[in-house]
Amino acid sequence: MRKFFRHKIGMHSQPTGMVPSDRVVTALVMTILLFAVVNAYRNPPDLVAQLDKSTGAAAENTASLDKLFRKITASGNIVLRYEGFDYSTRDKQEKVTFEYIRAAYATYPRRIYVADATTPVPQTETEYLVGDPWPAFNPSKTWLDDHQVVATITARRQPDGTTRYYELSHTQP
Amino acid sequence: MPLISSIAYLMLLGLVGYAALSLFLGCEKRPLAEVFALSGMLGCTMVPLILFWLSLAGARLGRTVLLGVFIASLFGLYPIWRKRGLVVPTWRMPRLTKVDWLLAPSLVLIVWSLITVTQLALKYPLIEWDGVSTWGFKAKILALASGPELHDYFHDFSLNFSHLDYPLLTPFLTAGLYGAIGEVDDTLGKAGILFLFWCYAIFVYVAARTHLPRYMAAAVTALAVSAPLVLRWAGQGTADMPLAIFYAGSIYYLVRWILGGTIGDAWLAGIFSVACLFTKNEGLPLAVINLFAATVFGWKNLPRARYARELGAVVIGCGVCALPWILFRHSLPHIDENYPGHLNLSVIASNRDRVPWLLNQFFLWMFRQPDSNFVWQLAAGALVIGLCTRPSPAALIMLFLLLAHLSVYLLAYTITPLPLDYLVFVTWKRLLLHTFPAGVFILMFSLSKIVPNPASASQSPISAE
C-alpha cells in the first residue's frame, strides 16, 4: 500500500524514500527529541559542578587520611577501636566507617584489625542500622603477636560530637 | 610511563576483544565504529574472565601474565582467521544532508558527556563508598595477592565489608591495569571502566544508527550518555555502569537474534550475559531472564532446527565461560545480604504490604526529572504511539525484559532483611541506572517504527522484520 501510494504521487525518487506524512512525523519526532536534548543541557552542568565540589572535598580528606594511616602502619599492622560513637546516628555509619574502609584500603597489604577473622564486618550503611556492627574487640597478646600488630589506635568521639581524634598506644616496644 | 602502560593495557583489551569478536562473528563485515565498540566491550569482558581463570590456577597478576594474554590472543587470531576469517571493519564516508545540521547539539552533548566523565574519573582517587570498599579493595587485593594469600582473603570475615562473594569482573579489569602499570593507582585505575564507557557511547550510536536516521540516532545517543544518572556513576569506579553497559549489549543482541539475526548476535548476547553475572550479583537473574527470553521468543520466532542448534551452542559455550565463577562463588561464605537465603514464600507473604509502596516508588523514580533526560517519558510515549500504529516486536521484547528486570528488584526489596526505606534511598538510583539501557532501546525501536530508516532496512534483521 505504501509502495503504491509512493508510486502514485511520484515520491519514489526521494533519496530517503519518505512520503509527505512521514516527513511531518519525522519533523515532529525530531522536534521532541531536540527538545529533550536541549533540556539535557540544563541539569548535567549543575550536577557535575556539585559532584566535582563534593568529590574534591572528599579527596582532600582522603589524602590526609591515607597519609596518616600509611604512617601509622609503616612498621606493621594495627588494631583500631571506636569509642563514644552513637550507632543510631549516621555519624558512625557514613563518616567513621568510610574512614575505616578507606584506611583499610589505603594501607593494604598492611592490616587494620577491628575484629578477628571470624567476625564479619559489614559494609553497607544500611547494615549498621540493624545493630552494633563491631562487637568489642580485645585480642590477646598472643593474637597481637601472631598478627604482627604494632599498635592500637582508638578513635574517640569528642564531647561536642563533631570531631574525633586518633590516639596511638604502642602495644609492643 | 604509567600512562603509556595504561594505553598499552587498553590496546590489549581491544585486541582480545577483536579476537573474541572474530570468533563469534567470523568474517562478517561490520561498520568500523561497531567493531571498535564491540572489541572494547568484549575485551573488558574476556580479559577479566581470563585473568580470573589464571588466578584460579595460581598465577600472580603482572606484566608477564598480561604479555602472555597478549601473545596468546595474537596467536589465537591465526586459527580464527584460517577457520572463520576475521571481522572486516567497513568505513563509508558519511554523506551529510541538509537536515544533518540537527546533529550539532547532540554531538556537542555526547562529546561534553564523555569529556566530563573522563575528567571526573581521572581527577580524583576512589571516593564513592562502594568504589573503595568493594570494587577498589578487591582490585588492590587481586593485584597484590595470589595463591594462598588470595584464598585467605576470600575467607577472612573481618574483610567482609568488601563483600567477599561479589563478582570480580570490575576488580579484575582494574587489577589488570594495576598489573600493567606496575603499581596501585586508584585514580588511573578507573581507565578500564572509562574505556568501557567510551565504547558504550559508540555502541549506542551504532545500534541507534542501524534503525534510525543519523540525526535521530545522535539525539538518542546524547540522551543516553548525558543522563545525570549516567554522569553520576560512570566515572566513580563502581560496577554499576559496567553492569548497565553489559546489560545493554546483552539485550540488544538478544533481540536481534530473536528477530532473525545471525548466530553471532546470539553469541554476543550470551557472552554479555556472562559479563553481567560476572559484574554484579544482580547480573545473575538478568542472565537467567535473557535465557528465558531467548528460549521462549526464539522458539516462537525462529526456525526450530536453527533455534535449537544456535541456542544449544551458545548456552553450552557461555555456560563453560561462566561455570568457574559460579562454582567459585558457591564455595565462598555468604555472610551478608544473601538474598537467595531469604527467598521463600513466608518472607514474601509477610512483606507483601511493601509491594504497592515499591511499585509507586518505581514509577516515581522512572519518571522523575532530571535523572534520566526524559528517556522514560519519551520511551513510553513512543511505545504507546507504536502500539496504536505500527507496533515494534523489538520494543515489545525490550518491554518484557524491562518488566522482568524490575520484577527482580521488586522481589529483592520485598524480601530484604535490611531497613527498606533507607535501603531504597541509597540504592534506587543505581538500580535505575541498570534498567536505563532498556528504556533507551524501547525508545529507539519504537522510533524506528514511527520514523523508519530505509537506508539501513536491508542491513538489520530488526528493521527488516
**In a mutagenesis test of the A interface, which of B99, B129, B161, B371 is the best target, namely the one with the most A β-carbons within 10 Å?**
B161
Nearest CB to A115 within list B120, B158, B228: B158
Cβ–Cβ gap B132/A98 under 8 Å: yes
What CA–CA distance (Å, rounded) separates A146 from A111? 13
The pLDDT confidence band at residue A13, using thresholds 50, 70 and 90, is very low
Nearest CB to A40 within list B109, B162, B422: B109
**In a mutagenesis test of the B interface, which of A38, A105, A113 is the best target, namely the one with the most B β-carbons within 10 Å?**
A105
Question: In this structure, are residues A54 and B120 in contact, taking their beta carbons and an 8 Å threshold?
Answer: no
Cβ–Cβ gap B231/A52 under 8 Å: no
What CA–CA distance (Å, rounded) separates B191 from B194? 5
The model carries a pTM of: 0.90
Portion of chain A with pLDDT greater than 70, in percent: 60
At A120 the pLDDT is 73
Here the ipTM equals 0.83
Question: In this structure, are residues B199 and B51 in contact, taking their beta carbons and an 8 Å threshold?
Answer: no
Q: What are the chain B neighbours of A37 within 8 Å (beta carbons)?
A: 105-106, 109, 219, 222-223
What CA–CA distance (Å, rounded) separates B254 from B293? 8
Cβ–Cβ gap A121/B106 under 8 Å: no
DSSP-assigned letters across all residues of B11-34:
HHHHHHHHHHHHHHHTT-EEEHHH
Cβ–Cβ gap B102/A122 under 8 Å: no
Q: What are the chain A neighbours of B116 within 8 Å (beta carbons)?
A: 44, 48
At B69 the pLDDT is 94
Weakly modelled stretches of chain B, pLDDT under 70: 336-338, 369-370, 452-465
Q: What are the chain A neighbours of B231 within 8 Å (beta carbons)?
A: 44, 47-48, 51
At A163 the pLDDT is 43
**In a mutagenesis test of the B interface, which of A123, A127, A128 is the best target, namely the one with the most B β-carbons within 10 Å?**
A123
pLDDT digits (tens, 9 = 90+) for A25-46: 777 777 887 777 777 777 677 7
Cβ–Cβ gap B336/A33 under 8 Å: no
Which among B187, B197, B180, B240 is positioned nearest to B40, based on CA atoms?
A: B197
Pick the residue with more confidence: A95 or B191?
B191
Our CA-based measurement puts residue B283 at a distance from the nearest CA of chain A, in whole angstroms, of 19
At B147 the pLDDT is 82
Our CA-based measurement puts residue B158 at a distance from the nearest CA of chain A, in whole angstroms, of 5
